[in-house]
Structure 1
Amino acid sequence: MNWGYSKQYSGDFIDGKRAGTGKYINEYVLEGERQKVVYSGAWKQDRMDGDGTLTRKATKEDGVVRMNEIQTGTFKNGSLLYGYDVIHAVADPDFSFSYRSNQETLQIMGGHENLKASLKQGTLFSIDYRKGSIRKSCSIFPADTKAAQREQDAALKYLQGIQTRLGPYMEEFERLSKQVPLK
């Protein structure tokens, strides 16, 4: 089914609304950039709801991809509730990784290769981990005070100590990063 200038959907409907399983594609131009949004997965009441994968890509007029993103996991009311979000952009750093479950979150910024080795070496651009009342953050940049630096060093040591827990998330970040090239 096609509607508007650039929208299409193939999948299930209930009472005239997207429901069940389906694929949505929307291609349009915004501020001179070509945007492409694709969602494949579960729908409820015309919204992304359930397991699915959403991709977004922004391409400049000259054909250069400015941003490419993939979200995969569980959606609720049109937004990612739990799962992975990987963004590759013309930025510094060029990758942003997020994982969220109902118990913990992990956010990493930096390159897209050897994330586990980078954590072990303390060379990740930045990392933020939360689980319950635990919150640990650190970056490659020195802290402003000696006390803040001790806190950052302790956070890095803690994160290195739970690397076996974080490893599967980092492996999935690396796998997903291959699906969002800037070309």
Structure 2
Amino acid sequence: MRKKYLSFMTVALLFLLFAHEEIRASSQKMNLTISNGVTYYGELKNNKPHGKGTMRWGPYKVYSGDWYNGQRSGFGKYISDRVSDHTIIVYEGEWKNDRPNGSGIRKESNPELEFYSISKGLFQDDVFTSGHSIVQSIGEIWFEYQNGNTYLEFSVMDNEDAAVMHSELADGTIEILKYYKRIKSTPDFKGFEYARSVEDFGSSSSEGIYRPGDYDLMEIYTGVHQYYAGGKYYRAENYKSGKLLSAKDVLEKGQFDASLQKKIKDHKHVLLPYLSEFSTLLKEIENVPESTGCRNTSTSICGSFPIKFE
């Protein structure tokens, strides 16, 4: 019995010794040249990135973080500076099977186009599936939230005068407000879409039941859609089960935009659960370094302002 016990202990010790040697060997950081300017420095296993390490694809793309059997897996940060169109992409978060999978935050910027975006939440195979996002482009800022059962989108104008922007946000000036809530155990969403007239774009209002259409955009399924592009009349359409039942031109008596503004004001309460996170993302845009386009510009996106709707 004693001999069997000693033999068992010997085997166990040898196993631990070899396991320790394997871990120690894999934790040694080494340089690895792969091909076409792709280099790696970090931990290896079976001559593949495994553990902690950094890979570079030429001078403009780099990933630093966790690896598993040659693939990005775990937590890491990826930066891609697309020289051709001057767009910079940064993703930091969880990875699996060499792609963003799990919780993370992705930032994109293009200073020449005055474009910046942040998406914070859950990703599946590099596709943003749930969470908060903000997009700033020339003249406007969009905020979006989605989680599969709730979709929210609203936008405000980005004026060059930061003081005006402060005032507009404090007053709750919203150009577009969209909100959809899934009806339990169905593919349908109940909600509304309101869009005020901006320059060459018309005003529109719709309320009812929606379903995702092409590119997952919501389309009215049952309800009323109204559209006004200036002139004497606005268009009123009625839908049922995805089919247009009736459409007519209605005399506009100077009240369409006023009615639309009231609808937006009456529905601003749907924003309240999301404003805190949107404000956080806005502050991140405020702190964008010079390389992402806030240098020599007076746009309000480069300054600090609150989001507050009374």
Q: Which residue in 1 is equivalent to 2:129?
A: 81
**Aligned ranges for residues 1-183 of structure 1 at < 5 Å?**
1=54, 2-31=56-85, 34-60=86-112, 66-90=114-138, 92=139, 94-111=140-157, 115=169, 117-118=171-172, 123-132=173-182, 133-141=189-197, 142=203, 143-144=227-228, 145=234, 149=256, 152=260, 155-156=263-264, 159-160=267-268, 163=269, 165-181=270-286, 182-183=293-294
**Residues in 1 aligned to 2:101 and 2:235: alpha-carbon distance in whole angstroms:** 47
Contact 2:77 2:92 in 1 (8 A): yes
Contact 1:74 1:82 in 2 (8 A): yes
- Give, in angstroms, the shift of residue 3 of structure 1: 1.8
TM-score normalised by structure 1 residue count: 0.79
Gaps in structure 1 of 5+ consecutive residues: none
- Give, in angstroms, the shift of residue 155 of structure 1: 4.9
* Deviation readout 1:89-114 (Å, 9 max, x if unpaired): 22x3x201110012101011114757
**Residues in 2 aligned to 1:155 and 1:126: alpha-carbon distance in whole angstroms:** 11
**Residues in 1 aligned to 2:130 and 2:171: alpha-carbon distance in whole angstroms:** 26
Contact 1:88 1:177 in 2 (8 A): no
Higher Rg: 2
**Residues in 1 aligned to 2:123 and 2:143: alpha-carbon distance in whole angstroms:** 17
Identity %: 26
- Does the residue aligned with 1:102 lie in a helix, a strand or coil? coil
**Residues in 1 aligned to 2:236 and 2:261: alpha-carbon distance in whole angstroms:** 10
Distance 1:50 1:72, change over 3 A: same
Contact 1:48 1:76 in 2 (8 A): yes
- Does the residue aligned with 2:59 lie in a helix, a strand or coil? coil
- Does the residue aligned with 2:264 lie in a helix, a strand or coil? helix
TM-score normalised by structure 2 residue count: 0.49
Distance 1:157 1:179, change over 3 A: closer
**Residues in 2 aligned to 1:6 and 1:138: alpha-carbon distance in whole angstroms:** 42
Distance 1:95 1:111, change over 3 A: same
* Deviation readout 1:54-80 (Å, 9 max, x if unpaired): 0011122xxxx6111111000001011
Gaps in structure 2 of 5+ consecutive residues: 1-53, 159-165, 183-188, 198-202, 204-226, 229-233, 238-255, 287-292, 295-310
How many residues are matched? 168
CA RMSD, aligned part only?
Answer: 2.6
Bigger helix fraction: 2
Distance 1:117 1:131, change over 3 A: farther
Contact 1:136 1:159 in 2 (8 A): no
**Residues in 2 aligned to 1:179 and 1:67: alpha-carbon distance in whole angstroms:** 14
- Does the residue aligned with 2:174 lie in a helix, a strand or coil? coil
Contact 2:105 2:119 in 1 (8 A): yes
